């Protein structure tokens, strides 16, 4: 099995783990009566799930071996809104590094189809990191006034909401 294929299988796991972590973050925000932040992270959870399923579809289309992995436990407890957002930003930076490694592996192995597939994910990570960095900056500025952050999320459009017409197809269809 090629390095690219191994890394892509590992990235499927990472995307599912990110989806579960965002669901936990959304539930925490919901439990704090912050429905706008909860809605945003529920949507992020679906977006990460869709990313995993895009990778699954690609592997199916290329007749690459694929298994659906389990994931580790996720973090559920936070002290303030900045904590889950900082966790999300760190997670997105790690995903970016993984996507860069996937692109590099495809290039090293002379796999132009793999390179082309990863280009969309590279573009997506720029948006994901920028969105989380902005959200964290706003959360830090809001300080103890959590409703300023909630109002920001209600007022502003953060990211593309997973609605990119150029996105690869997801196995079973995007949710």
User: Taking the domains of the chain in order of start, what are their residue ranges?
Assistant: 3-70+78-155
pTM: 0.93
**What is the predicted pLDDT for the residue at 10?**
97
For the stretch 53-67, pLDDT in tens is: 999 999 999 999 999
Cβ neighbours of residue 164 under 8 Å, at least 6 residues apart?
120, 124
For the stretch 153-163, pLDDT in tens is: 999 887 666 67
- Note the Cα 146 to chain centre separation in Å: 24
- Best CATH choice for the domain 3-70+78-155 from the list 1.10.645.10, 1.10.260.40, 1.10.10.10, 1.20.1260.10: 1.20.1260.10
For the stretch 99-125, pLDDT in tens is: 999 999 999 999 999 999 999 999 999
**What is the predicted pLDDT for the residue at 162?**
62
Residue 15 has pLDDT above 80, yes or no: yes
**What is the predicted pLDDT for the residue at 32?**
96
Length of the chain: 175
Residue 172 has pLDDT above 80, yes or no: yes
For the stretch 132-149, pLDDT in tens is: 999 999 999 999 999 999
- Nearest Cα neighbor of 142 from 37, 69, 53, 3 is 37
For the stretch 64-100, pLDDT in tens is: 999 999 999 999 999 999 999 999 999 999 999 999 9
């Amino acid at each position: 099995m090629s390095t690219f294929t191994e890394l892509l299988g590992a990235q499927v796991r990472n995307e599912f783990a990110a989806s579960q972590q965002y669901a936990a973050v959304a539930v925490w925000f919901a439990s704090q009566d912050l429905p706008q932040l909860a809605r945003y992270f529920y949507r992020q959870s679906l977006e990460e799930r869709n990313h995993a399923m895009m990778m699954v579809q690609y592997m199916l289309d290329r007749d690459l071996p694929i298994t659906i992995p389990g994931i580790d436990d996720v973090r559920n407890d936070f002290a303030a809104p900045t904590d889950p957002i900082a966790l999300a930003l760190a997670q997105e930076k790690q995903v970016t590094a993984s996507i860069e490694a996937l692109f590099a592996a495809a290039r090293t192995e002379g796999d132009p189809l793999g390179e082309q597939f990863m280009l969309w994910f590279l573009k997506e990570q720029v948006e994901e990191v920028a969105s989380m960095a902005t959200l964290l900056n706003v959360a830090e500025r809001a300080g103890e006034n959590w409703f300023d952050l909630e109002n920001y999320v209600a007022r502003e459009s953060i990211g593309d909401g997973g609605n990119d017409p150029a996105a690869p197809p997801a196995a079973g269809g995007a949710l």
